[in-house]
Amino acid sequence: MQVQSSSWRQWRRGVAGLMLGMMAGSAWAGSVAEVWKDPNCGCCTAWVEHLEQAGFDVQLHASRDMGAIKAEHDVPDRLVSCHTAVIDGYVIEGHVPAADIRRLLDSGADVSGLAVPGMPHGSPGMETGRVDNYAVYAWQENGDIDIYQRYTHDT
């Protein structure tokens, strides 16, 4: 059986990410990211590729009713973005960098999830040439929202 080159490259990236995670003893190694996105959203697809390049296995679901997905996963209204993921029980909303997801998984923090509200330029999947300052927020079930990580860039 012949393996197509793009599938082979994707398989090798996944194995490499898994091996690196196992060698480092990371909790995120082999984590599956279940992602819901609108079928026509290109920036969501680019964010999924960012996760795959970081070693996450992604299960992708297309949905035309993203509002229902966000409601089902209790994403606070002020943190809404374009796509929603669940990784090891944490909800990940929007263009959250893989490094922040790994840090969350490694820490086991008592939060519901992480979010990058809106679609800030320069965040993973939104590489448009312009780079905005943005923050990654963590929220808890009780409604508390805190800044998890800030990204600032000289303009």
pLDDT in tens, 86-130: 999 999 999 999 999 999 999 999 999 999 999 999 999 999 999
pTM reported for the whole predicted model: 0.81
Amino acid occupying residue 86: V
Distance CA 24, CA 12 (A): 18
Name the token pair of 14: 């996944």
Domain that holds residue 76: 5-151
Number of domains the chain contains: 1
* Helix 5-24 with 42-53: angle, nearest 10 deg: 50
8 Å CB contact between 91 and 53: no
- Determine the Cα angle at 150 with ends 144 and 155, to 5°: 140
* Model pLDDT for residues 125-155, shown as the tens digit of each residue: 999 999 999 999 999 999 999 999 999 987 5
